[in-house]
């Protein structure tokens, strides 16, 4: 089954303008994401989907593949769907453009699961969350799942609420996999009030009754939302480079 990875990468960003082109260890942020995605064994192709010529040129400069998309998209998934329509891929990975530490094994984990479970429309990954600072950080998305590992809810708030005992918190990582039939349907689903309140597009799927499978991963990541996140990733990459 053909699988591709698409990296939605827009120029505008409220908290960190031109984030995709921000320098990270001498490379633009989007290049780190692209290079890690290319290491995945299950992807036939990796494509950057952008709305800006500057990103298009930057990707071409490091030898990657990028395509221009419309400026009307309300979410990264809608941008990914536009590109997916032009391919024959049955499994499509939406690899968030602000995840420079995404692990190739996470990509392969989702792609392999969806190839083997074609009735599951959508899958993503989660990892245990133990740092209390991250539990209360609204830029770190939390998820709760049912007994079969399907999402009940995603939130920027700490969930579940700890009224008694010490609950297990799970961090959601910005990597989504879709069956083709569901991805192409997604842009036609009306945005939900919960999605708009939390600014989390995956809540649109749950609102309309679609299941999202959460796969546990041992690999954590740092999504770049702010300049502080960029500095944290830079320090981490520099430490690994000097070992």
Dist CA 26 CA 9 (whole Å): 19
- Number of domains making up the chain: 1
- In the block, which residue shows the tokens 């809608």? 78
Residue 188 has pLDDT above 60, yes or no: yes
Residue 12 has pLDDT above 90, yes or no: no
Percent of the chain with pLDDT over 90: 75
Of 215, 184, 54, 30, residue with least CA distance to 68: 54
Q: How confident is the model at residue 242 (pLDDT cuts 50, 70, 90)?
A: low
DSSP 150: B
- In the block, which residue shows the tokens 């030898």? 63
Write the pLDDT tens digit of every residue in 76-94.
899 999 999 999 999 999 9
Write the pLDDT tens digit of every residue in 46-76.
999 999 999 999 999 999 999 999 778 778 8
Domain that holds residue 145: 3-241
Residue 243 has pLDDT above 60, yes or no: no
Q: What is the CATH number of the domain that holds 114?
A: 3.90.550.10
**DSSP helix/strand/coil, 159:** coil
Write the pLDDT tens digit of every residue in 205-234.
999 999 999 999 999 998 888 888 888 888
């Amino acid at each position: 089954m053909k699988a591709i990875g698409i990296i939605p990468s827009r120029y505008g960003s409220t908290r960190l303008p031109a984030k995709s082109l921000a320098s990270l260890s001498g490379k633009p942020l989007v290049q780190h994401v692209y290079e890690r995605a290319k290491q995945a064994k299950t992807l036939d192709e990796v494509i950057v989907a952008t709305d800006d010529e500057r990103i298009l040129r930057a990707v071409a400069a490091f030898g990657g593949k990028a395509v221009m998309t419309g400026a009307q998209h309300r979410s990264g998934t809608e941008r990914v769907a536009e590109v997916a329509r032009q391919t024959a891929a049955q499994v499509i990975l939406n690899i968030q453009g602000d995840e420079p530490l995404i692990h190739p094994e996470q990509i392969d984990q989702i792609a392999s699961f969806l190839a083997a479970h074609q009735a599951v429309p959508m899958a993503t990954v989660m990892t245990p969350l133990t740092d209390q600072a991250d539990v209360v950080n609204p830029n770190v998305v939390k998820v709760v799942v049912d007994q079969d590992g399907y999402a009940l809810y995603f939130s920027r708030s700490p969930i579940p609420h700890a009224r008694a005992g010490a609950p297990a918190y799970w961090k959601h990582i910005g990597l989504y996999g879709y069956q083709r039939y569901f991805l192409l349907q997604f842009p036609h689903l009306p945005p939900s009030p919960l999605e708009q309140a939390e600014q989390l597009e995956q809540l649109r799927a749950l609102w309309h009754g679609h299941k999202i499978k959460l796969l546990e991963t041992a690999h954590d990541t740092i999504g770049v939302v702010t300049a502080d996140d960029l500095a944290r990733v830079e320090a981490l990459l520099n430490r690994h480079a000097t070992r």
